[in-house]
């Protein structure tokens, strides 16, 4: 436990050093921190602010400005439903609604209690040729329907269960 | 020969004379183009879009970010522009809590004024429904997010002028808002309470935290005696609330008004400032003689003090240990007046009237209490006093001037000029020059600043003193960084958080232009001239108190204070102290936010004390860590690999002793193991 | 040997060496690894090809020219025809197979690769006459395009700098340094008539010239790859499919303005583009076309990739600069323009991906030849992402001045129903330029598409998303969709955009949910105009376009929603009235059971009824009725 705390902290330092503690590199620093910690904990952001010599409110302002950053931990599987124009005219909303219903999530509540799924919409993944598109942990699934999506979800659930057992 | 440049603005020809932008040119042409986000001292933001004008050939452009160009033909009131301006105000109002009558800014709110001026008679858009809670966490400032129009003035003033950056925009689009980091309260972040944000806020989103009701309660309480002190900068600005020209001195009327309102003893903070001059002057002379802890920084400004505690903890020993005049007054008054009146300290209520929001924070500091009872109970800003006078129905401009009570109402001119940047230095120098026997010099007018840094070498007899006078914390930071890097050397540095000093404080009437602030400062120096004495040591009441009531230890207790590190975390130096030598002990203090709030810094300083005391310095490595795992059990200390939760200094010492006991055994084992291996 | 010569020889040599070593292969399989095809399993196909060829005891190479082998397989960038993916092209014949699955690979290897036979079933069949086409030349989707910027994209291995060099790559950068002065480069680009492909269409040559004239030791080139327009993916395909062309464009720009450093700002949603650009930059450094003293000119120029973090507004150049400086992506007022004071206050050229990728091509063709394409004011070709209700979705490139008829009917193969079948009718509208653009209708079918014509009808080229919408689309909902998008993506800085988009959205909701009156429409229009002129940056200024353009062309549809409380295409559920047709109702009670608010009641033998007061218009009853007894109207 103790070692892991220290190790985590060391990694944060390593990331900061990699970018030479340059405040102009705040965004790539936050990106790497998020890749490391899966989200941006308050302490890490405060730490970044001190290390870079910018105020914490500025770091917080930047972290909340960009959609890519998350201040809450995300689930193991991040499901992104594309709501770009092409997906939208091909009824991506139906997929989103089906998933919300299945997972018991909504706009405020984006992650399931068991921390297995996070449901998000994303403004175009540039895979419009395959609209509507659903992305699960960076794997793109094209030409989706609500039924296909739910089937996919069930497969994942089964897989997750088998891992546990 | 330079060609004369002109532009045509609403059919009038106007000379272009180096205006920074079209907006300034238009205002020069006597057109009051409304704006929310334009301030000449901070960067151009271009967000409120109220200053849009039509430039022939270029269409509709924002005047604030368009340079004035020769031959420009500008229209400021076309139909399209008028409609758009009104629509923008409508949009702002739709997102604004329109309970104007109960807003502290009512009557002075720019949104209210502009809406009225433009004839906005209805809001056709959907009104924001849910009201967010007000932020009452700060001692000095109330933040009401429902009033914010997001002009960003506070953000820029805090960042650009003060280099603190407590507020910033967060989120985006319709969810964008101006908040402190992590949506915490202003009282929970690095806000130094200077109130410059309050001054620039065009609406009621940032206002001083009022203590009007508490003060009225004290006045009405039959068991309480209420003493009040008035800071120097208040007397040259308060009049602006009652229609006086800026800089008019209304000290006498204020005294009369306070008496009418029911204050029992009416005193002058300048009296305490005279004490400050003596104490700080002596401290300086002594340090200068020994050439130690120089430069000496002034300590009258509570925003500066907090700033130093947060960002320059290593330089805290350089701060003068003198309390500010407000707190010297409180300490003296509670001690001496209570005795004289033969009442318990608790029944004497000290109120101060300050140009400043940070003074509210200062009065609440733990150091300034005796058995929990504060030296200064309530702090009112100039703004609050004006409200109380108006509430009492007093016709301020008809009042006969009254005079302060004695002895705490008697001052020298040196105490009065504290209210302007450069004043403290001048007052101290007048005293120092005289004390050092170099003759009495009554004026150091080249030290008077309206906001610019002044660096001067002052010669007193054969002594040369290098001085810096700085106001505005951003400028202060630049200067201190230079001192730290060894690029500059000073003997005395005066720092005021607000540009131009207290005359421009966060609790003062909103100054539309820099000239307002300059006139206030000039009036203070005029006041100085009119007074009998100009050197604090000539104050007869002060001499009397020194002679009769204050022993040296007592003076030290009442008039001096100490400072503590407020630095939350240290980015560069995770290994905080690492002396050479064999490391037996690694102490890692968690400085995560929770641990911090639960007392990690105190624990840390106690630990360093202990380590020094026990002579373990050579063998100890101090580290600071961050964690997010045991936040509810903070503060957390690691002794080598041993975790101690909810750590106190006692627990820590016990743990260290245990660790040290195990150590020799371990070391012996290791040593023998090493021997074994060399043998092999 | 002087270093200048070294690079020249090495480029030439590398080219020759590449072409020579290609001769050893009997055939080449190019598998499309664009996002669309990857999502459809093209990587499995790729792996299977390797396996099968090896099973046959033959040798297969995956990296050109390094190994001796019989065949070579390579991945390409997006070939554009995403609908038909995964796409596999077999050379030397140039046979295009569509919708290839891993199971088909064995057959392809045996028949086509080893015996040269065609596999009929995998060829593209025209949906009209079901005729098969063996190569791209005869497929209408490709036949009617003018692929210039996209020419190499989808043909070459994006990760192989030698293949790029073999296709004349970096020769133009070399030429710019060796035979042209910076001034001449600017002048050449100005003469080509190239205008920015990112949206506003500012002449690229003028941008460069303005930057060139700035006196400063440090200047920057930024490639704007923050393609945020939902429904556009041209830049993604160029960055993924031909990253070197982007780098070469930047190097030429650096020559023109005297820049020292370049950055490619890429959306974080495009991880593959980031990866490929990084590899390409590395290879370019090794080849000596990036780095210190490039082409022996004494000028140094290097390029770095920066990932965005998810903000549409960062496509706006001043916001992009703020983002690169580590700040919130909030636009700043212009002046100062980036050409004067851009990144870190230095003169900066910001060009979009497609613009930069066009630069080497313009130099190859010569500005005059390039300018021969297009219309009098809009020169050259433009890529579009063709999506929505159209048979052939994908990435296309046509000269400016092409018409919607040519694009939607010719290349796109016609408008489809919601289920993807051809509907035979014309489109209802085409949204061009995404949330900043407007819609075009049937009346614009034969209008030449260029900057001026589009601006005249209230639309814009934008980044080039073309979303086709069929007759079943509710245009008010579409306007709302875009408004929702811009409201989310507004940076929140200026009042008109922050508050205006929010209020426009609220007004559109009123219209869609039956609360609107005539005043709502007037207010919406007044507000839209104010936001258009009053906003700080391009995002705000163009945000009202979808509303204004749908109001202009589909006013009657708005009127129906507002005055008749009716959605003409029956899409807006809040305006629907559900009713049970007594004659058809079998009183099975299924609808009553499904109704979430118990708005349906009835008894056995009697037709059921819907209580319209209780009904929340969710439509579950109509979906559940087996007898079609529930009508929506």
Q: What is the pLDDT of residue C369?
A: 95
Interface test with A, best of B156, B626, B628 (most A CBs within 10 A): B626
Q: What is the pLDDT of residue B672?
A: 59
Minimal C-alpha gap between A151 and chain B (Å): 35
C417-427 tens-digit pLDDT: 887 788 888 89
Of the candidates B138, B207, B211, B151, the residue with the CA atom closest to the CA atom of residue B177 = B151
Residue B61 touches chain C, beta carbons under 8 Å: no
Q: How far apart are CA B423 and CA B443, in angstroms?
A: 10
A38-61 tens-digit pLDDT: 889 887 888 888 788 899 999 999
Average pLDDT over residues B8-28: 95
B422 contacts B499 by C-beta, under 8 angstroms: no
C148-197 tens-digit pLDDT: 999 888 889 888 999 999 999 999 999 999 999 999 999 999 999 999 99
Q: Provide the percentage of residues in chain C whose pLDDT is more than 70.
A: 98
Residue B573 touches chain A, beta carbons under 8 Å: no
Q: Half-sphere exposure of C523 toward its Cβ, with a 13 Å CA cutoff?
A: 23
Neighbours of chain B (3+ CB pairs under 8 A): A, C
Q: How far is CA C110 from CA B21, C41, C113, in A?
A: 75, 21, 6
Least confident window among B223-237, B246-260, C602-616: C602-616
Least confident window among B110-124, B292-306, B408-422, B438-452: B438-452
Residue C421 touches chain A, beta carbons under 8 Å: no
Q: What is the pLDDT of residue A126?
A: 67
Residue A64 touches chain B, beta carbons under 8 Å: yes
pLDDT over 50 at B573, yes or no: no
How would residue C9 be classed by pLDDT, with cut points 50, 70 and 90? Answer: low
Window 4-63 of C, Cβ < 8 Å to A: 35-36, 38-40
- Average pLDDT value for chain B: 88
Catalytic annotation, residues of B: 280, 283, 300, 320, 359, 362, 367, 502
Q: What is the pLDDT of residue A5?
A: 40
Residue B159 touches chain A, beta carbons under 8 Å: yes
For CA atoms B240, B245, B246, B249, give the dihedral sign: negative
Neighbour tally for C442: CB within 10 Å: 15
What is the residue-wise DSSP string for chain A? -HHHHHHHHHHHHHHHHHTTT-GGGHHHHHHHHHHHHSS--HHHHHHHHHHHT--HHHHHHHHHHSTT--SSPPPSEEEEEE-SHHHHHTTHHHHHHHHHHHHT--SS--B-TTS-EEEEEES--S-GGG-S-EEETTEEE-S--HHHHHHHHHHHHHHHHHHH-
C-beta atoms of B88 and C534 within 8 A = yes
pLDDT over 80 at B591, yes or no: no
> Would you give the distance in Å from CA B382 to the centre of its chain?
15
Q: How far apart are CA C73 and CA C46, in angstroms?
A: 8
Neighbours of chain C (3+ CB pairs under 8 A): A, B
Residue B91 touches chain C, beta carbons under 8 Å: yes
Q: How far apart are CA C7 and CA C321, in angstroms?
A: 33
Minimal C-alpha gap between A24 and chain B (Å): 16
C-beta atoms of A130 and C40 within 8 A = yes
Q: Is B247 exposed, middle or buried (0-12, 13-18, 19+ CB in 10 A)?
A: buried
Give the CA radius of gyration of chain B.
29
Q: How far apart are CA C324 and CA C308, in angstroms?
A: 8
C-beta atoms of B569 and A13 within 8 A = no
Q: Which residues of A touch C82 (CB under 8 A)?
A: 127-130
Pick the residue from chain B with its C-alpha nearest to A64: B171
pLDDT over 90 at B435, yes or no: no
Q: Which residues of B touch C534 (CB under 8 A)?
A: 49, 52, 60, 84, 87-88
Pick the residue from chain C with its C-alpha nearest to B46: C333
Q: How far apart are CA C158 and CA C305, in angstroms?
A: 17
How would residue A4 be classed by pLDDT, with cut points 50, 70 and 90? Answer: very low
Alpha helices in B445-591 (DSSP H): 473-484, 514-530, 540-548, 552-559
Which residue from C332, C492, C500 is facing B176, i.e. has the nearest CB?
A: C492
pLDDT over 60 at C4, yes or no: no
C-beta atoms of C230 and A91 within 8 A = no
Minimal C-alpha gap between C311 and chain B (Å): 10
Neighbour tally for B666: CB within 10 Å: 12
Q: What is the pLDDT of residue C388?
A: 87
How would residue B609 be classed by pLDDT, with cut points 50, 70 and 90? Answer: confident
B126-147 tens-digit pLDDT: 998 789 999 999 999 999 999 9
Average pLDDT over residues B222-247: 95
How would residue B680 be classed by pLDDT, with cut points 50, 70 and 90? Answer: very low
DSSP class of C83: G
pLDDT over 80 at A163, yes or no: no
Q: How far is CA B195 from CA B138, B201, B358, B491, C487, in A?
A: 11, 10, 7, 29, 33
Q: How far apart are CA B473 and CA B191, in angstroms?
A: 12
Neighbours of chain A (3+ CB pairs under 8 A): B, C
Q: Quick check: ipTM above 0.85?
A: yes
End-to-end CA distance of chain B: 95
Beta-carbon contacts of residue A110 (< 8 Å; ≥ 6 apart): A72, A118, A119, A120
Q: State residue C97 phi and psi, 5-degree precision.
A: -105, 140
Burial C124-137 (b: 16+ CB within 10 A, else e): beeeeeeeebbebe
Q: How far apart are CA B353 and CA B347, in angstroms?
A: 19
Q: Is B2 exposed, middle or buried (0-12, 13-18, 19+ CB in 10 A)?
A: exposed
Q: What is the pLDDT of residue B223?
A: 94
Q: What is the pLDDT of residue C187?
A: 96
How would residue C71 be classed by pLDDT, with cut points 50, 70 and 90? Answer: confident
Residue B637 touches chain A, beta carbons under 8 Å: no
Which residue from B159, B181, B592 is facing A56, i.e. has the nearest CB?
A: B181
Beta-carbon contacts of residue B602 (< 8 Å; ≥ 6 apart): none
B83 contacts B54 by C-beta, under 8 angstroms: no
Q: How far apart are CA B108 and CA B126, in angstroms?
A: 25
B34-83 tens-digit pLDDT: 999 998 888 999 999 999 999 999 999 999 999 999 999 999 999 999 99
Strands B492-496 and B296-297: parallel
C-beta atoms of A66 and C324 within 8 A = no
Q: What is the pLDDT of residue C325?
A: 97
3-class secondary-structure state, position B624: strand
pLDDT over 80 at A117, yes or no: yes
Omega cis (within 30) before B551 = no
Q: Provide the percentage of residues in chain B whose pLDDT is more than 70.
A: 91
C-beta atoms of B49 and C496 within 8 A = yes
How many contacts (CB atoms, under 8 Å) link A and C?
Answer: 143
pLDDT over 80 at C35, yes or no: no
Of the candidates B354, B406, B397, the residue with the CA atom closest to the CA atom of residue B376 = B354
How would residue B580 be classed by pLDDT, with cut points 50, 70 and 90? Answer: very low
Of the candidates C555, C462, C543, C460, the residue with the CA atom closest to the CA atom of residue C500 = C543
Which residue from A26, A67, A122 is facing C326, i.e. has the nearest CB?
A: A26
C146 contacts C373 by C-beta, under 8 angstroms: yes
pLDDT over 60 at B593, yes or no: no
Residue A131 touches chain C, beta carbons under 8 Å: yes
Interface test with B, best of A13, A43, A48 (most B CBs within 10 A): A43
How would residue A90 be classed by pLDDT, with cut points 50, 70 and 90? Answer: confident
C-beta atoms of B91 and C490 within 8 A = no
- Of residues B568 and B433, more confidence is placed in B433
- Of residues B104 and A90, more confidence is placed in B104
- Average pLDDT value for chain C: 90
Q: Three-state SS string across B229-285, please?
A: EECHHHHHCHHHHHCCCCCCCCHHHHHHHHHHHCCCEEEEHHHHHHHHHHHHHHHHH
C219 contacts C257 by C-beta, under 8 angstroms: yes
Q: What is the pLDDT of residue B122?
A: 93
Q: How far apart are CA B651 and CA B646, in angstroms?
A: 9
Q: State residue B492 phi and psi, 5-degree precision.
A: -140, 135
Q: Which residues of C touch A32 (CB under 8 A)?
A: none
Q: Which residues of A touch B588 (CB under 8 A)?
A: 6
Q: What is the pLDDT of residue B663?
A: 66
Least confident window among A109-118, B205-214, C311-320: A109-118
Q: How far apart are CA C610 and CA C582, in angstroms?
A: 11
C-beta atoms of A129 and C393 within 8 A = yes
C-beta atoms of C326 and A27 within 8 A = yes
Q: What is the pLDDT of residue B571?
A: 33
How would residue C459 be classed by pLDDT, with cut points 50, 70 and 90? Answer: confident
Window 579-598 of B, Cβ < 8 Å to A: 588, 592-593
Average pLDDT over residues B394-398: 95
- Of residues C279 and C38, more confidence is placed in C279
Omega cis (within 30) before C92 = yes
Q: What is the pLDDT of residue B658?
A: 83
Window 85-124 of C, Cβ < 8 Å to A: 85
Q: Is B355 exposed, middle or buried (0-12, 13-18, 19+ CB in 10 A)?
A: buried
B3 contacts B17 by C-beta, under 8 angstroms: no
Average pLDDT over residues C519-533: 96
């Amino acid at each position: 436990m103790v070692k892991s705390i220290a190790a985590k902290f060391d990694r944060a330092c390593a990331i900061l050093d990699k970018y030479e503690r340059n405040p102009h590199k705040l965004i790539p620093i936050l990106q790497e921190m998020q890749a490391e910690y899966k989200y941006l904990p308050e302490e890490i952001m405060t730490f970044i602010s001190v290390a870079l010599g910018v105020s914490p409110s500025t770091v917080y302002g930047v972290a909340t400005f960009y959609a890519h950053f998350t201040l809450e931990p995300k689930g193991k599987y991040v499901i992104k439903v594309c709501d770009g124009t092409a997906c939208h005219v091909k009824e991506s909303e139906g997929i989103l609604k089906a998933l919300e219903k299945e997972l018991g999530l909504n706009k405020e509540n984006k992650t399931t209690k068991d921390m297995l799924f996070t449901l998000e919409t994303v403004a175009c993944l540039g895979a419009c040729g395959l609209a509507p598109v659903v992305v699960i942990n960076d794997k793109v699934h094209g030409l989706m329907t609500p039924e296909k999506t739910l089937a996919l979800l069930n497969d994942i659930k089964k897989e997750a269960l088998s891992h546990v057992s | 020969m330079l060609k004369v440049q002109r532009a045509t603005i609403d059919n009038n020809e106007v000379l272009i004379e180096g205006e920074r932008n079209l907006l300034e040119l238009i205002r020069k042409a006597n057109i009051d183009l409304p704006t929310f986000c334009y301030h000449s001292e901070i960067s151009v933001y271009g967000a409120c879009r109220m200053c849009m004008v039509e430039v022939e050939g270029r269409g509709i452009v924002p005047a604030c970010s368009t340079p004035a160009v020769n031959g420009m033909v500008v229209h400021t009131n076309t139909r399209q522009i008028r409609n758009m301006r009104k629509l923008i105000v409508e949009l702002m109002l739709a997102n604004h809590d329109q309970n104007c009558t109960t807003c502290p800014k009512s009557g002075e709110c720019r949104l209210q004024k502009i809406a009225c001026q433009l004839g906005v008679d209805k809001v056709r858009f959907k009104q924001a429904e849910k009201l967010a809670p007000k932020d009452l966490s700060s001692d000095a400032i109330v933040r009401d997010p429902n009033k914010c129009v997001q002009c960003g003035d506070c953000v820029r003033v805090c960042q650009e002028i003060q280099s603190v950056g407590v507020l910033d925009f967060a989120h985006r689009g319709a969810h964008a808002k101006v908040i402190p980091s992590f949506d915490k309260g202003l009282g929970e972040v690095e806000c130094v309470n200077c109130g410059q944000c309050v001054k620039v806020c065009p609406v009621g989103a940032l206002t001083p935290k009022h203590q009007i009701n508490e003060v009225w309660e004290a006045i009405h309480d039959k068991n309480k005696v209420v003493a009040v002190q008035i800071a120097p900068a208040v007397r040259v600005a308060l009049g602006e609330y009652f229609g006086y020209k800026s800089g008019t001195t209304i000290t006498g009327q204020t005294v009369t008004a306070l008496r009418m309102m029911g204050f029992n003893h009416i005193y002058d903070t300048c009296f305490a400032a005279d004490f400050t001059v003596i104490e700080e002057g002596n401290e300086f002379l002594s340090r200068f003689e020994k050439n130690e802890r120089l430069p000496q920084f002034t300590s009258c400004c509570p925003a500066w003090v907090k700033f130093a505690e947060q960002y320059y903890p290593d330089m805290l020993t350089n701060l003068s240990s003198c309390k500010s005049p407000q707190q010297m007054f409180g300490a003296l008054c509670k001690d001496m007046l209570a005795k004289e009146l033969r009442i318990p300290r608790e029944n004497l209520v000290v109120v101060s009237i300050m140009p400043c929001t940070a003074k509210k924070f200062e009065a609440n500091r733990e150091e300034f209490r005796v058995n929990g009872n504060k030296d200064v109970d309530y702090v009112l800003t100039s703004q609050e006093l004006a409200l109380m006078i108006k509430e009492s129905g007093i016709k301020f401009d008809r009042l006969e001037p009254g005079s302060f009570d004695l002895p705490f109402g008697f001052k020298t001119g040196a105490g009065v000029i504290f209210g302007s940047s450069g004043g403290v230095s001048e007052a101290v120098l007048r005293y120092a020059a005289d004390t050092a026997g170099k003759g009495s010099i009554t004026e150091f007018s080249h030290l008077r600043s309206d906001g610019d840094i002044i660096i001067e070498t002052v010669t007193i007899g054969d002594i040369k003193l290098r001085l810096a006078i700085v106001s505005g914390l951003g400028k202060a930071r630049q200067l201190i960084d230079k001192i730290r890097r060894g690029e500059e050397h000073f003997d005395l540095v005066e720092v005021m958080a607000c540009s131009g000093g207290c005359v421009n404080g966060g609790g003062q009437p909103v100054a539309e232009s820099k000239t307002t602030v300059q006139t206030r400062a000039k009036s203070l120096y005029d006041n100085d001239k009119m007074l009998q004495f100009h050197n604090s040591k000539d104050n007869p009441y002060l001499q009397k108190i020194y002679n009769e009531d204050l022993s040296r230890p007592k003076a030290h207790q009442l008039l001096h204070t100490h400072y503590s590190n407020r630095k939350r975390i240290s980015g560069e130096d995770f290994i905080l102290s690492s002396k050479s030598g064999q490391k037996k002990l690694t102490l890692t203090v968690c400085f995560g936010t929770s641990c911090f709030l639960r007392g990690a810094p105190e624990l840390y300083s106690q630990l360093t004390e202990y380590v020094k005391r026990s002579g373990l310095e050579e063998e100890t490595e101090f580290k600071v860590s961050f964690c997010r795992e045991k936040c509810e059990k903070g503060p957390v200390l690691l002794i080598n690999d041993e975790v101690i939760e909810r750590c106190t200094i006692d627990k820590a010492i016990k743990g260290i002793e245990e660790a040290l006991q195990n150590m020799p055994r371990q070391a012996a084992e290791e040593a023998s193991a090493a021997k074994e291996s060399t043998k092999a | 040997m002087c270093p200048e010569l070294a690079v020249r020889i090495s480029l030439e040599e590398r080219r020759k060496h590449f072409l020579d070593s290609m001769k050893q292969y009997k055939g080449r399989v190019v598998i499309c690894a664009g996002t669309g095809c990857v999502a459809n399993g093209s990587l499995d196909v790729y792996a299977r090809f390797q396996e099968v060829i090896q099973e046959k005891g033959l040798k297969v190479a995956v990296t050109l020219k390094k190994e001796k082998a019989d065949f070579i397989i390579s991945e390409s960038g997006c070939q554009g025809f995403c609908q038909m993916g995964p796409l596999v092209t077999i050379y030397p014949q140039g046979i295009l197979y569509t919708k290839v699955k891993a199971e088909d690979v064995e057959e392809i290897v045996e028949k086509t690769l080893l015996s040269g036979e065609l596999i009929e079933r995998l060829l593209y069949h025209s949906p009209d006459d079901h005729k098969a086409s063996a190569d791209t030349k005869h497929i209408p989707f490709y036949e009617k395009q003018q692929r210039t910027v996209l020419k190499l994209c989808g043909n070459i291995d994006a990760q192989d700098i030698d293949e790029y060099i073999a296709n004349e790559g970096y020769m133009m950068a070399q030429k710019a340094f060796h035979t042209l002065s910076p001034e001449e480069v600017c002048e050449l680009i100005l003469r080509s008539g190239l205008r920015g492909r990112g949206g506003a269409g500012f002449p690229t040559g003028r941008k460069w010239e303005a930057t060139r004239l700035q006196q400063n030791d440090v200047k920057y080139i930024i490639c704007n790859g923050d393609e945020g327009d939902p429904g556009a993916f041209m830049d993604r395909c160029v960055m993924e499919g031909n990253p070197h062309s982007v780098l070469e464009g930047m190097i030429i720009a650096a020559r023109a303005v005297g820049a020292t450093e370049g950055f490619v700002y890429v959306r974080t949603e495009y991880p593959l583009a980031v990866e490929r650009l990084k590899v390409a930059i590395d290879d370019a450094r090794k080849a000596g076309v990036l780095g210190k003293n490039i082409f022996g000119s004494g000028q140094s120029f290097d390029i770095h990739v920066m990932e965005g973090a998810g903000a549409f507004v960062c496509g706006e150049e001043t916001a992009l600069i703020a983002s690169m400086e580590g700040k919130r992506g909030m636009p700043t007022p212009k002046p100062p323009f980036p050409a004067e004071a851009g990144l870190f206050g230095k003169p900066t050229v910001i060009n979009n991906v497609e613009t930069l990728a066009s630069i080497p091509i313009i130099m190859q063709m010569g500005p005059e030849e390039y300018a021969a394409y297009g219309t009098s004011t809009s020169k050259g070709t433009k890529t579009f992402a063709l999506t929505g209700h159209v048979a052939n979705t994908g990435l296309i490139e046509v000269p400016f001045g092409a018409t919607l008829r040519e694009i939607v009917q010719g290349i796109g193969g016609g408008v489809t129903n919601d289920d993807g079948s051809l509907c035979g009718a014309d489109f209802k509208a085409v949204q061009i330029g995404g949330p900043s653009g407007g819609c075009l209708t049937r009346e614009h079918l034969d209008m030449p598409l260029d900057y001026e014509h589009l601006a005249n009808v209230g639309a814009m080229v934008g980044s080039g998303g073309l979303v086709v919408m069929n007759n079943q689309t509710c245009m008010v909902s579409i306007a709302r969709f875009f408004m929702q998008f811009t409201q989310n993506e507004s940076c929140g800085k200026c009042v008109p955009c922050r508050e205006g988009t929010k209020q426009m959205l609220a007004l559109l909701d009123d219209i869609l949910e039956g609360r609107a009156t005539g005043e709502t429409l007037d207010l919406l229009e007044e507000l839209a105009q104010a936001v258009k002129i009053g906003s700080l940056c391009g995002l705000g200024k163009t945000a009202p376009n979808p509303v204004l353009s749908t109001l202009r062309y589909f006013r009657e549809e708005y009127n129906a929603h507002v005055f008749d409380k009716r959605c003409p295409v029956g899409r807006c559920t809040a305006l629907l009235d559900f009713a049970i047709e007594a004659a058809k109702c079998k009183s099975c009670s299924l609808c009553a059971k499904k109704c979430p608010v118990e708005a349906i009641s009835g008894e056995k033998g009697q037709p059921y009824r819907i209580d319209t007061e209780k009904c929340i218009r969710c439509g579950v009853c109509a979906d559940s009725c087996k007898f079609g007894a529930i009508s929506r109207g």
